[in-house]
């Protein structure tokens, strides 16, 4: 059945308080077993209830509120109400409300003319025990000028969907998913809100965000997080598509949550990191375009770090098991790193099949002992590629690239251009008495490329003793070794392998920390012949 609010005395004249008339229509629809309450085009002014939890309009089961369209039907708070309104349209919170919704209208909190109260747009959810509101649909609704949240489904709700809606110029977050189960946000837009565009929080799980857009917000574009109380973390969250850009903080922040997938999104021109993962586990970044973030300060494009939860649980939550695959991640020059995993206990990060370039310090830094990137692929420009502690492949591509494999047994390919292969620690490439852990440079060109050993204290080429390095070619002439015969306390001798024969390699191909010495090529012999 349809119920027209004007049949219940609503005027929609932008002056009169129509709250009682609209509520009477909602109550009548509920008493009849359900129906649609229709608000023709017009501006319907409403007051709040005696208490903030009363909201303005209280929805009932099996009732749908429908207008003539966003901007055509406007429900607006009276001037000078100056009280809390926890939902201009809301459900009870003390009873389980089901099969209800709102569509095709605008909610206006009249923020400028109500400076003393906190006003939310849409609010729902059951507050007690294991019960929940169920089957809630919000379609084509605009929430604007709230002093609080635009959309705030706040208690336990199952199967809530908000689609094709807009939240802007609100004092808090545009869209909140608080304690939502099996719900979705689809094709919504959040802009110019004082805090975040979207916030998925407080034990929300099995929730999907598809095709949403957040820009120009005072916080992050999208946040997935536990919140400020010791409750179970959000989990099984899928973020698919959409764009997050020009926000003051991160494009996307994933914090104190697990099993979160961010895929097919466009993230750019945000103030800090494009994506920050803090104290989260089992996160996947798949097939995203992330670029030109870090518009304010010094941050990576993608940052993985632990989270110190001292103020709530006293725990430190480490970021673990992150998969970064199939993304295009670049920076215009502001970012310190393109992808950085902090040395704070975060670990088990895997990079696969990404296109990564830029970074003031390096393109990639993976600090976890079990993290790996491979291959780490450069672009046609001048790239800096820095590996972590795993066995990795670094592929420079065209341009004058800098490659530093870090620890682990790495395979380095500079590609075209004048490339520099950097070794920052003697332990990054070495041989013991019974095994080899050396890096392999696959395409060294003595006419263009350099091997930078300036951080290691070697003085030049020589016989491999007294701070010098020997150049040695194996008996088959297929591999050349640059080596020291002096071991450290762990029995490790610095050694680098170069594919092919470079018997005439001279000091012009190296950067040493010390004065040059004469080249002394040590001929290969059976007892010294390295294992290829």
pLDDT digits (tens, 9 = 90+) for 100-115: 999 999 999 999 999 9
3-12, 347-356, 406-415, range with greatest mean pLDDT: 3-12
Predicted pLDDT at 511: 95
List, in sequence order, every residue forming a beta bridge with 278; answer none if it has no partner.
Answer: 255, 305
Average pLDDT, the chain: 91
Binned at pLDDT 50, 70 and 90, residue 374 comes out as low
Predicted TM-score (pTM) of the model is 0.77
Predicted pLDDT at 523: 26
Binned at pLDDT 50, 70 and 90, residue 236 comes out as very high
> Closest Cα to residue 385, out of 433, 445, 334, 338?
338
How large is the average pLDDT for residues 372-378? 74
Binned at pLDDT 50, 70 and 90, residue 506 comes out as very high
Q: What is the CB neighbour count within 10 angstroms for residue 264?
A: 15
> Closest Cα to residue 450, out of 488, 411, 412, 484?
412
Q: 380 or 210: which carries more pLDDT confidence? A: 210
Q: Are 480 and 471 in contact (CB under 8 A)?
A: yes
Residue 54 pLDDT exceeds 70? yes
Q: Read out DSSP for 382-443?
A: --EEE--SS--EEE--SSS-EEE--SS--EEE--SS--EEE---GGGSEE-SS-EE-EEESS
Residue 526 pLDDT exceeds 70? no
Residue 13 pLDDT exceeds 60? yes
pLDDT in tens, 202-223: 999 999 999 999 999 999 999 9
pLDDT in tens, 265-324: 999 999 999 999 999 999 999 999 999 999 999 999 999 999 999 999 999 999 999 999
Predicted pLDDT at 129: 79
């Amino acid at each position: 059945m349809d119920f027209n609010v004007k049949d219940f005395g609503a005027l929609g004249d932008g002056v009169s308080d129509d709250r009682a008339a609209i509520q009477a229509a909602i109550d009548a629809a509920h008493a009849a077993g359900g129906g649609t309450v229709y608000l023709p085009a017009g501006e319907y002014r409403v007051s709040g209830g005696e208490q903030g939890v009363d909201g303005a309009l209280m929805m009932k089961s099996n009732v749908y509120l429908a207008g003539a369209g966003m901007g055509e039907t406007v429900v607006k708070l009276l001037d000078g109400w100056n009280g809390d309104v926890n939902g201009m349209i809301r459900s009870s919170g003390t009873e389980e409300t089901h099969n209800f919704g709102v569509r095709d209208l605008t909610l206006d909190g009249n923020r400028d003319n109500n400076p003393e109260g906190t006003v939310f747009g849409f609010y729902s959810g059951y507050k007690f025990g294991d019960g929940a509101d169920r089957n809630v649909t919000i379609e084509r609704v605009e929430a604007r000028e709230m002093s609080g949240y635009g959309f705030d489904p706040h208690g336990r709700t199952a199967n809530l969907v908000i689609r094709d809606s807009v939240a802007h110029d609100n004092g808090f977050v545009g869209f909140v998913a608080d304690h939502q189960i099996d719900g979705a946000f689809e094709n919504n837009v959040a802009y110019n809100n004082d805090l975040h565009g979207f916030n998925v929080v407080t034990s929300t799980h099995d929730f999907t965000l598809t095709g949403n857009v957040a820009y120009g917000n005072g916080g992050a574009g999208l946040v997935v997080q536990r919140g400020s109380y010791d409750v179970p973390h959000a989990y099984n969250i899928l973020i698919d598509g959409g764009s997050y850009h020009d926000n003051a903080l991160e494009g996307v922040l994933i914090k104190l949550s697990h099993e979160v997938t961010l895929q097919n999104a466009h993230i750019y021109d945000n103030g800090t990191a494009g994506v920050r993962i803090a104290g989260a586990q089992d996160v996947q970044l798949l097939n995203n375009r992330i670029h030109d973030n870090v518009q304010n300060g010094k941050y990576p494009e993608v940052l993985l770090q632990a989270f110190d939860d001292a103020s709530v649980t006293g725990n430190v939550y480490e970021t673990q098991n992150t998969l970064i695959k199939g993304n295009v991640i670049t920076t215009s020059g502001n970012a310190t790193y393109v992808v950085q995993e902090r040395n704070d206990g975060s670990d088990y990060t895997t990079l696969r099949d990404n296109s990564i370039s830029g970074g003031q310090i390096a393109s990639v830094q993976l600090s976890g002992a079990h993290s790996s990137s491979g291959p780490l692929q450069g672009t046609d420009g001048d790239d800096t590629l820095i590996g972590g502690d795993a066995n990795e492949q670094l592929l420079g591509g065209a341009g004058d690239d800098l490659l530093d494999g870090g620890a682990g047994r790495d395979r380095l390919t500079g590609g075209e251009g004048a490339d520099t292969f950097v070794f920052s620690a003697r332990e990054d490439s070495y041989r013991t008495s019974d095994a080899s852990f050396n890096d392999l440079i696959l395409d060294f060109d003595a006419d263009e490329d350099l091997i930078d050993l300036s951080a290691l204290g070697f003085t030049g080429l020589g016989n491999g003793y007294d701070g010098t390095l020997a150049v040695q070619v194996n008996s088959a002439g297929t591999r050349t070794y640059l080596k020291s015969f002096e071991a450290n306390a762990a029995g490790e001798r610095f050694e680098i392998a170069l594919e092919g024969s470079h018997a005439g390699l001279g000091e012009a191909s190296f950067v040493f920390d010390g004065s040059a010495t004469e080249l002394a090529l040590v001929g290969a012999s059976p007892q010294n012949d390295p294992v290829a």
